[in-house]
Structure 1
Amino acid sequence: MAAEEEDPRMHPLPPYPEMILATVAAADDSSGTSVSAISDYVESCHGGQLPLAHASLLAAHLARMTEAGELLLVGGSYFRPGPDAPPPVKRGRGRPPKPKLPVPVDAAPRRRGRPPKPVDPLAPVKIPRPRGRPPKNAPGDADPDGAALAKRPRGRPPKVRAQFTEVGFV
């Protein structure tokens, strides 16, 4: 064949977006068209040719068309956008940021970290101590009692054996 003609059996179904738009146009309902109504209409027109994954394909195409702005989703019903409809707003990934509160001009910026505790005027004055672990006493230092510090040997102490005394028989 010189001119190759497309076999109509190769593509029995029109693309899903075309079927969806035809369904919404055919319904022409002021309250919109629900997912179940779209699915029923497509099944009635192309019943024996639909794939097994028709429900998931329909849901995916509806989501894609809504995101692209080809359809509007209002309260669970799909509409064709009018000529004065705003363009779709595509959100980025992740959680949207919280709205910023206006900062008064005369307010001082907040300091980092935990805020300081309120000062009690009746509390006794604390004497500041140096930071960190206190230094070890030198081996030549003595306790305030006057007793010298004895250094223990390394390792486990030897086991103490009980002393046996001879018991005489009478």
Structure 2
Amino acid sequence: MATENSDNPPAPPPPAPSLPQYPEMIMAAIETLNDSNGSNKSAIATYIESTYGDLPPAHATLLAHHLNKMKQSGELVLVKNNYMKPDPNAPPKRGRGRPPKPKVPLPPGTVVSPPRPRGRPPKPRDPFAPQPEPKSPSGTGRPRGRPPKKAKTASAPPQAPAPAPATGAPRGRGRPPKVKPAVAPVGC
């Protein structure tokens, strides 16, 4: 008694042996359609469907994948959503940006210096200035940064005597107003 494993989906059936590879079918479709402006994806798909009967269920996906792959490799050229064969006399397509400078071949036995490091170069040192002492990471001297706060202990340090309790109205919020000096009347 054979049991099927439900974890593994059934493998897709292999394409019919009489069916050629997709790049061959695409090139045949473009040659047969022979449009001067090229053939669009739907025209290529219609030709392949009418010529080759037994196509896989994912025909549209496979066609789009192979068209894109052929375009990337340079077998096809896409012009205004139409695919066509590249012109053999056309100059090679240049990439974006400025082209790199041509490299001059070095004579044999030449030692190549390492590339310049990134960042700003250091300032030149004064040959007559005293040599700075090398900094040692062992911690001699004062440590860097703000010193840590002292931990509060149980015994409080001696404080100034507490002020006598104030009599009268409680103090208001904020800074108290400036006291104006009393002015004596001027006699005649």
Q: Give the TM-score of the pair, scaled to structure 2.
A: 0.44
Q: Give the TM-score of the pair, scaled to structure 1.
A: 0.48
